[in-house]
Chains A and B, each alone.
Chain A
Amino acid sequence: MAVKTFTTGEVLTSADTNTYLANSGLVYVTSTTATSGANISMNGCFSSTYRNYRVVISNLTTTGVAASSIRLRSGTTDATTSYYYNGTYMSYTSATINGYAGSNVGTWDPGIVVDATMGGTSFDFFNPYVAFVTSFNSFGCDPRTGGGGGRFSTGMHYANTSYDGFTWFSGSTITNATITVYGYRNP
């Protein structure tokens, strides 16, 4: 859609507003907040409406330090095999790059470290609802005071399967976390 430029005094019609809403870049799909428990499952958040998705976790605090993990989900069942990924992480005080990897393992490690210090992160899923390989990447943050730093991870779930959701395993006990899912508008 071509971007329309409004001029001073021009009436913004409902048709124009609806057109802009329908053609926005990231479109809100769903959101939930948890203040207890260990895991959050998002069911039915992927559909044929969007091909790719951005997930944002914000206001994130837990009772302890842990490496969180993610699984794709179909209905009420998580996919427990066939994850391939690697990641890098650096501290705030050094340019040294460290790495980690997983090959045909049971979860994706998105590099999202949880702690009592408030954190947040985002990650993308590509083609989760298509019966094809799903790929993903993340921009994690390790919020620990001392030892914290940036973490990045990318990989894929190697199965020609359609998924309509995911589970995020905090690895700890959640005291606060809000997960919001957005769809990338299809061209």
Chain B
Amino acid sequence: MSNTKPIIGTFHDAITGETITRELTAEEISQLPKLETPPSNEE
């Protein structure tokens, strides 16, 4: 059993108005952008 915390995404369909929240697929997770901490504006 994996201890990896699932990554959740929200998906809104503008045509039907339906919004679902689900775990991302492995393919979606593999394509996630790299997380970045923004530099301070004072730097």
> Which of B8, B13, B24, B33 is most buried by chain A, counting CB atoms within 10 A of its CB?
B33
Name A's interface SS: strand
A29 and B41 contacting across the interface, CB-CB below 8 Å? no
Which residues of A does B touch, CB under 8 Å? 29-30, 32-34, 36-45, 65-67, 69, 71, 78, 80, 89-94, 98, 100, 106-107, 113, 142, 144, 146-151, 165, 169, 171, 174, 179, 181
> Which of A30, A149, A179 is most buried by chain B, counting CB atoms within 10 A of its CB?
A30
Which residues of chain A are within 8 angstroms of B32 by Cβ–Cβ distance?
Answer: 39, 169
Which residues of chain B are within 8 angstroms of A44 by Cβ–Cβ distance?
Answer: 13-15
Q: How far is the CA of A176 from the CA of B31 in the complex (A)?
A: 24
* Closest Cβ–Cβ distance, residue A178 to chain B (whole Å): 11
Which residues of B does A touch, CB under 8 Å? 7-15, 17, 19, 21, 24, 31-33, 35-43
Name B's interface SS: loop
Q: How far is the CA of A148 from the CA of B42 in the complex (A)?
A: 8
A106 and B35 contacting across the interface, CB-CB below 8 Å? no
Given A43-B13, A66-B38, A98-B43: A37 and B33 interface contact (C-beta under 8 Å) = no
* Total A-B pairs, Cβ < 8 A: 98
* Closest Cβ–Cβ distance, residue A35 to chain B (whole Å): 9
Given A67-B38, A169-B32: A30 and B12 interface contact (C-beta under 8 Å) = yes
* Closest Cβ–Cβ distance, residue A176 to chain B (whole Å): 12
A148 and B10 contacting across the interface, CB-CB below 8 Å? no
Given A30-B17, A38-B7, A38-B8: A94 and B38 interface contact (C-beta under 8 Å) = no
A43 and B12 contacting across the interface, CB-CB below 8 Å? yes
A45 and B14 contacting across the interface, CB-CB below 8 Å? yes
| Nearest A residue to B8, CB-CB | A37
B41 and A147 contacting across the interface, CB-CB below 8 Å? yes
* Closest Cβ–Cβ distance, residue A7 to chain B (whole Å): 39
Which residues of chain A are within 8 angstroms of B36 by Cβ–Cβ distance?
Answer: 66-67, 171
